[in-house]
A and B are shown apart, each in its own frame.
Chain A
Amino acid sequence: MDSNLNFIYGHLPYWLFIILMLSGLFIVVSRGNLIKKIVGLNIFQTSVFMFYISIGKMKGGTAPILLDKSANNSAVIYSNPLPHVLILTAIVVGIATTALGLALIIKIREEYDSVEEDDIQKMDQKDLKKYNKKNVLETNS
């Protein structure tokens, strides 16, 4: 029992990572509102950031900054900075994705006057029936 608790507590960041990841993924899949989908996607991505940051952390490790050049630093434990730097790149990618997603939503809202996936699908179905044999290029101009 005690070892189980230790296992759960010792891997706390990973549990949080899994919970966040799954809830983010669930929101993306289950919600019909496009904005909520983007929010879910963000949570999903954030969980990965957390995962990367926690794998770089050492117990008792400090920030990887060389404090005193003359002193012998071999006793100091540093956290691994590489995952942190990697995740900076991933954060930038995440922001770009979010921005693009929101821009698309604005466009969708202008065209369909809705951000609900179901409404959009219904309108597409209607379009399909109405214009099936007609000119695709002319119908929109």
Chain B
Amino acid sequence: MASEIKQGTLELVNHLPILQVIIPMLIAPILVVLNNKTLSWLLSFVGTLASLFISILLIQAVSDGSILTYYLGGWVPPIGIEYRIDAANAILLFLISIISAIVLIFSYSSLHAEIPEEKHTLFYACFLLCLTGLLGVVATADIFNVFVFLEISSLSTYVLVAQGSYLDRRALSASFNYLIMGTIGATFFVIGIGYIYMATGSLNMMDIAERVSQLGDNRTIQAGFAFIVVGMGLKLAMVPLHVWLPNAYTFAPTVVTCFLAATATKVALYVLIRFVFSVFNYEENFVSELFFLLLMPLAVIAMIAASVIAIFKQNLKKLLAYSSLAQIGYMLLGLSLMSQKGLSSSLVHMVNHGFTKAALFMSLGAFMFNTKNVYIKSLRGLGKSMPFTSGAFVIGGLSLIGVPGTAGFISKWLLLEAALETGYWLLAILIIVSSLFAVIYIWKIIEVLYFAESTETYSEVSVLTLMPIWILAFFCIFLGINTGLTVDVANMATEILFK
């Protein structure tokens, strides 16, 4: 079924995997040279639209189960670097590029409220570099290349988070803590890669997978795997390693928070999935035991504890950040079930939660432009004076809870099915309990929005700000009704990964 694409021809489709990554990378320095605020927005928007277009082409090309490969510089792997697109990364590429395009629409009308105008060019350049890094991590099939792109995206993320310091100086220490934690995570990841290289002598994922299966029981490989799990655990904010996340999300500018919450942690989780299934053998004892004994309990703790903490938060950005931690718990749980259904629920939830959380953070950002505040009390009665933003927030909230008809329902339902299929009744109950906590904290906000007496009246935000919010809200519903894009592709991806 898998069709290999002929290398070395000039047909455009053969070059899509690399174009995807290279377009934002090339635009970023051009922005800095041009140094024009409006032009840099336009160019980065065009760049992300090109990425989006390419990712849609890629998803069409691989949705039948075929695999696109691209050899950098024509060097055949395992010597050269290989880019390899299958259903699993095509779906992530689509998520990243569409979220970045929507976020850029939002930033056009809103960025000046949070960042001084003379910094906008550099901001967009950083944003594009971050996008490059995230796309590169997902597209590549070379494990050292994963590290390099991961650091490109992380370094620019630290800068982007620190941009929040124009409003609140705590963004600086949040960014610094993120830098320390992120670098420790990345260094653990490199140590893991070193161990793998030591045992196999290769950096190409497919090649390593072959050699690992021949090695049998090997302590070096197992140690490498442990290092990689810890490193990625730090990047994806697995529960005991999540300390950087709430502050980074709270104090970063809205645009950055939307983008990070929807993509960054998912990409780290994708790397973990890719390593478990495409590099190591998921049937190996040390892999499945680690997931069953360590990651599953941690995922459950994240689901419950983060949701409970979220209930008590007054700062809404922090509330949503903790709810993100809980959602990461769902994704990890789906993965740690080690079944096809579990993994596909995890992939679907990545996409659905990406849209949901971006919609929530974005409408919260729109509230913030009027109220100049992210505390729950300031939202009193905004349901009447800002009906459209509040409507989008409610849709996002319903999707976060998992009400039928929204995107969140689909992935939670798949996760429940997967948990029941493997016979873990307790897990299914805990998933529902965690969803009930989500009902509490979302309802708390909706109550203030619609049923509290307003002290001040505000006017609705501009159409240009509303448009991206409603695009995301539309996706929250669309993905709950039409599951062709998410569930089918995710099922195809799990088939490829489990092969």
Q: Which residues of A are interface residues toward B (Cβ below 8 A)?
A: 21, 25, 28, 34, 37, 41, 44-45, 48, 51-52, 55, 82-83, 86, 89-90, 93, 96-97, 100-101, 104-105, 107-108, 111-112, 117, 120, 124, 127, 132-133, 135-140
Contacts and interface: CB of A to CB of B under 8 A. Distances in A.
B373 A136 contact: yes
B191 A48 contact: yes
A107 B165 contact: yes
A123 B173 CA distance: 12
Contacts of A120: 173
A3 B446 CA distance: 70
B288 interface: no
B184 A41 contact: yes
B169 A55 contact: no
A103 to B, nearest CB: 9
B377 A133 contact: yes
A90 B190 contact: yes
Nearest to B193: A86
Contacts of B372: 135-138
Interface string B173-200: 1011001100110110011001001100
Q: Interface extent on B, as a size class?
A: 35 or more
A133 B167 CA distance: 15
Contact of A136 (B144, B168, B179): B168
Q: 6 closest pairs, A vs B, by CB? A: A137-B372, A111-B169, A93-B151, A135-B372, A108-B172, A104-B176
23 contacts: A21-B191, A25-B184, A37-B180, A41-B183, A48-B194, A55-B194, A55-B198, A83-B194, A89-B148, A90-B147, A93-B186, A97-B179, A100-B159, A101-B176, A104-B175, A108-B173, A111-B165, A111-B169, A112-B169, A124-B170, A133-B375, A135-B372, A136-B374
Contacts of A86: 144, 197
Nearest to A131: B168
Contacts of A89: 144, 148
B155 A55 contact: no
Interface of B: 113, 144, 147-148, 151, 155, 158-159, 162, 165-170, 172-173, 175-176, 179-180, 183-184, 186-187, 190-191, 194, 197-198, 314, 368, 372-375, 377
A91 B117 CA distance: 34
B330 to A, nearest CB: 30
B162 A107 contact: yes
Given A104-B162, A107-B162, A137 B167 contact: yes
A28 B180 contact: yes
Between A55, A82, A89, A90, the greatest number of chain B beta carbons within 10 A of the residue's beta carbon is seen for: A90
A138 B190 CA distance: 43
A13 to B, nearest CB: 12
A105 B180 CA distance: 12
Contacts, number: 95
- Report whether over half of chain A's contact residues are helix, strand or loop; otherwise say mixed: helix
B195 to A, nearest CB: 9
Between B148, B169, B373, the greatest number of chain A beta carbons within 10 A of the residue's beta carbon is seen for: B169
Given A86-B144, A93-B155, A104-B179, 5 more contacts: A28-B184, A41-B180, A107-B172, A112-B169, A133-B375
B335 to A, nearest CB: 27
Between B148, B158, B172, the greatest number of chain A beta carbons within 10 A of the residue's beta carbon is seen for: B172
Contacts of B166: 140
B373 A44 contact: no
Contacts of B169: 111-112, 140
B377 to A, nearest CB: 7
Nearest to B144: A86
B173 A124 contact: yes
Contacts of A112: 169
A136 B167 contact: yes
Nearest to B145: A89
Contacts of A25: 184
A108 B176 contact: yes
Contacts of A105: 176
Contacts of A90: 147, 190
B196 to A, nearest CB: 11
Given A41-B180, A136-B168, A52 B194 contact: yes
Between A51, A55, A93, A140, the greatest number of chain B beta carbons within 10 A of the residue's beta carbon is seen for: A93
Given A133-B375, A136-B374, A137-B372, A100 B187 contact: no
A45 B158 CA distance: 18
Nearest to B372: A137
A117 B177 CA distance: 10
Contacts of A133: 375, 377
Contacts of B377: 133
B168 A140 contact: yes
Nearest to B202: A82
Nearest to B178: A104
Contacts of A138: 372
Nearest to A108: B172
B176 A34 contact: yes
Nearest to B158: A100
A111 B250 CA distance: 18
